């Protein structure tokens, strides 16, 4: 059973580093916030706004949000750690145009949240409770949202070799997330890295913050044999943090990506706000 009451951080945590795509330095602070605040974000001098799917403006290779006329990209790893570690209320301040890539995973974010500790608040946790199946498609990608007692994910990826087909299933709870999902790094193929650089992307990427594959396999050492699918779960969790409530549902994902996640979350959030038959509190 997932936590029943809202949480916030016991103390502020901060991170600094370079963005994966821009290569520019950035600083992020996650600060405690009162109950019923949810997640808010301030980008530069932009106004603080609710951190929801309404802010998504780009989903090509990463999730980009806009607030107060400013944009910040590659938010999914940070938000994945926030939701995965059970943090409900926080004020996030970003000084820069992209969230630091850190080691390419959510591990450093998740560990910092765990070390800071969470405080239980008096208000019940806000939940999205799926009461009927919902289906979403985008090309070959498929996402199904099913009723469940907690937040669970079943994810399948199907890439060219040597990654191939991988499958992961499990509950998204703090201890499991920290051990099995947060350490999984972003990944790509050597020929793709060269193409990204030509497009002005991946300027901050290196073997220290990404798994790179060539035709023979991973160039650097894997943390998990199925690290690719675990990272896709990490991304999915981060994109679902934009729902604005704890997702009490099972998500079945086949070859999904940021755009499909954003489509599903936007639709589910409309149901959440309307109080329709798909949700309960």
Catalytic residues: 258
Q: Could you give the count of Cα atoms lying within 13 Å of 67 in the half-sphere of its Cβ?
A: 26
Q: What residues contact 90, with CB distance under 8 A and at least 6 apart?
A: 8, 9, 30, 31, 32, 33, 37, 39, 40, 82
Triad 273, 267, 72: Cα angle to 5°: 90
Triad 59, 65, 66: Cα angle to 5°: 135
User: Distance from first CA to last CA of the chain, Å, rounded?
Assistant: 16
Beta strands in the chain (DSSP E): 5-9, 13-18, 25-32, 39-43, 49-50, 56-58, 64-67, 70-72, 90-95, 118-124, 127-129, 134-138, 141-146, 152-158, 165-171, 187-189, 211-214, 217-218, 246-248, 250-254
Residues of 105-127 as b/e, b for ≥16 C-beta within 10 angstroms? bbbbbbbbbbebebeebeeebbb
Residues facing 14 on adjacent strands: 29
């Amino acid at each position: 059973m997932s936590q029943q009451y809202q949480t916030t951080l016991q103390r502020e945590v901060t991170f600094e580093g370079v963005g994966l795509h821009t290569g520019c330095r950035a600083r992020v602070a996650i600060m405690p916030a009162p109950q019923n605040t949810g997640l808010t974000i301030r980008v530069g001098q932009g106004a603080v706004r609710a951190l929801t799917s309404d802010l998504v403006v780009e989903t090509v290779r990463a999730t980009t949000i806009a607030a107060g006329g400013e944009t910040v990209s590659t938010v999914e790893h940070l938000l994945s750690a926030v939701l995965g570690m059970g943090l409900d209320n926080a004020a996030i301040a970003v000084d820069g145009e992209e969230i630091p890539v850190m080691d390419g995973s959510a591990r450093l974010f998740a560990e910092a949240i765990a070390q800071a500790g969470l405080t239980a608040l008096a208000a019940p946790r806000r939940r999205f409770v799926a009461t009927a199946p919902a289906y979403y498609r985008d090309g070959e990608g498929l996402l199904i949202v099913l009723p469940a007692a907690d937040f669970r994910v079943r994810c399948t990826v199907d890439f060219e070799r040597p990654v191939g087909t991988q499958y992961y299933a499990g509950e998204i709870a703090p201890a499991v997330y920290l051990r099995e999902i947060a350490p999984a790094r972003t990944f790509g193929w050597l020929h793709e890295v060269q193409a990204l650089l030509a497009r002005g992307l991946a300027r901050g990427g290196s073997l220290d913050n990404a798994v790179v594959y060539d035709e023979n396999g991973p160039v650097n050492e894997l943390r998990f044999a199925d690290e690719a699918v675990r990272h896709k779960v990490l991304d999915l969790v981060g994109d679902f943090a934009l729902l604005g409530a704890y997702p009490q549902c099972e998500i079945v994902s086949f070859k999904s990506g940021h755009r499909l996640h954003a489509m599903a979350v936007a639709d589910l959030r409309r149901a959440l706000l309307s109080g329709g038959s798909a949700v309960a509190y």
